[in-house]
Amino acid sequence: MQQTTTQRLDSDLAPAFTPLCESYPPRFAVEAFDGASALSPHAAHQTELDVRNELLAEAGAVFGSLVVRRTRDGVCLQGYVELDDQPHDLTGIALRIPGVAEVLNHLVVGRCVRGVPR
């Protein structure tokens, strides 16, 4: 005789149903905050693009990689940047974008050698 084993799933362990606009686990920072954002997903993405474009346009800053993610009140910056000898306020640049009240700056910063990136 063949024995069958039945497993009972505990409903507390199963992930809750999520609408199509969300993912489990969260892929976007705004979803991690229970979607608590005054901006629509399109406006939040546009804010990310605006911040990214402004940072990439900064003279003397050469980005090896740059990821901008929307948070509840601002953006999170991640990546690698090489800077020349001039002072650069990358956080200040991001704060100038409408809708950005705070910046989590997780950029790794390197220095350019004689103005030329490595």
Domains of the chain, first to last? 29-111 (3.30.300)
Residue 97: predicted pLDDT: 95
Give strand pairing partners of 104: 76
Residue 20: predicted pLDDT: 46
- How many Å separate Cα 56 from the centre of its chain? 16
pTM equals 0.66
Angle formed at CA 52 by CA 46 and CA 53, multiple of 5 degrees = 90
Q: At residue 105, what is the residue type?
A: N
**Rounded distance between C-alpha atoms, residue 117 and residue 82, angstroms:** 6
Residue 86: predicted pLDDT: 86
Residue 109: predicted pLDDT: 92
Residue 18: predicted pLDDT: 45
Angle formed at CA 89 by CA 78 and CA 50, multiple of 5 degrees = 60
How would you write the pLDDT of the chain (118 residues) with one tens digit per residue?
555 555 554 445 544 544 544 444 455 555 555 555 566 777 888 999 999 999 999 999 999 999 999 988 899 999 999 998 888 999 999 999 999 999 999 999 998 765 555 5
Question: What tokens does 9 get?
Answer: 């799933």
